[in-house]
Amino acid sequence: MRARSQLRTTLPALAVLSATLLLAACGGDEDGSAETERPDSFAEIAGAAQGQTVRWWMDGGDDRINAYVDDVVIPAAREAGVRLERVPVGDTADAVQRVIAQRRAGRESGGAVDLIWLNGENFAAGKEAGLWLEGWVRDLPNARFVDFDDPTIVNDFQVPVDGQEAPWSRAAFALAHDSEELAEPPRTYAALLEYLRRNPGRFTYPAPPDFTGSAFVRQVVAAMGEDRAFAYLRELKPLMYRDGETFPESADELNDLFANGQVDFAMSYEANFVAAEVDNGTFPQSTRPFVLGEGALVNVSYVTIPSDAANQAGAQVVANLLMSPELQAQKADPEILGIPTVLDVERVPPDLRGRFDELDESPYVLSDFGQVEQELPASSVEPLEQRWEREILRGD
């Protein structure tokens, strides 16, 4: 299984520019978005949703998440009177491009994309282009369980959400070690550097723009500031696997190096990745997750509704279900996914809060992420990756 629930994929700038120009020419509100007549209450929305088929475009690369959607979310939607279809995509930008294509064709309603799982640059690009339905999220009944003062919720890679996407899943950057081979891993950046001075070649990370490698670089930048972080990465490089002359191309390649004992650490932006890799037999059962530094880099992924979606009412019903304590507790269960909830559990009524309290602890899933680091702005991701290529990969 590949842990890919938080995708950072780049929507081409030309497509964003084309969409922005197109929407400005399409009429509607002054901000470029088409007017949408909104029901007065969620009861009306739920009534209008009856019998609708919601097409949820989402990354299809994680078999466990696919199973959760198929086995848990789709039946819950059916009970609410909505038929939910999972539309798997290899790149979230494909779904955004589909919405742009529909707008380019002059479509302001009846669009084929009802719901998208996304965050980061894809959300920011679509927001700039005026693609998303506005002002619906806090009207959902289960929004009362969300802390909208939490900066990791109200900002998506530091882009204000502004009621255009509903939180669904939380990610935290974690590393892994084999506790039988290394009882106590280095838990600070200085300790990692010292460890590699004593054990050169036992660490690496995927080369950005691979998602996991880019996240590792951002974690260091968030902890140290950009210039100090790049000085640290330069100091780290010659002590790394193969003297830092080559880097894994993907998280899967890094996982293989770790599983084969060639490096001492794996990493992922999925807090549950150790559980998943132990479950599928890739990692030994003695593998344990840990956080490097004072806290993990954290982000939230969301679902959003295109403003031209054919089944907006049904999409809002599904988004509300995704934030329900029942479904969030099942997603947080280490036996199912082990993904941290986006809810503020203290806001959940005691009879439902027990669902979270009863979750079994797992040695493969972190329960404490330390003093979490907020994600960097979406606009900084590509420049950081370019700087990494110049200064670290090429050594310019």
Q: Is pLDDT above 60 for 35?
A: no
The per-residue pLDDT for range 259-287, each reduced to its tens digit, is 999 999 999 999 899 999 999 999 999 99
- pLDDT > 90: what percent of the chain? 78
Measured distance CA(328)–CA(233) in Å, rounded: 37
- Label residues 44-56 b or e (16+ Cβ within 10 Å = b): ebbebbeebebbb
pLDDT at residue number 39: 59
Q: What angle do CA 133, 136, 139 make, to 5 degrees?
A: 175
Measured distance CA(92)–CA(115) in Å, rounded: 12
The per-residue pLDDT for range 90-104, each reduced to its tens digit, is 999 999 999 999 988
CB contact at 8 A, 146 and 153: yes
pLDDT at residue number 352: 86
List of residues 6+ apart from 283 with CB closer than 8 A: 176, 178, 255, 258, 259, 266, 274, 277
List of residues 6+ apart from 96 with CB closer than 8 A: 11, 116, 118, 122, 125, 126, 131
Which residue, 150, 157, 87, 162, is CA-closest to 122? 157
The per-residue pLDDT for range 1-25, each reduced to its tens digit, is 333 334 333 333 333 333 333 333 3
Task: Spell out the domains of the chain, with CATH numbers in brackets.
Answer: 13-23+34-170+301-357 (3.40.190.10), 174-295+373-393 (3.40.190.10)
Mean pLDDT in residue range 318-328: 97
- pLDDT > 70: what percent of the chain? 90
Measured distance CA(177)–CA(105) in Å, rounded: 51
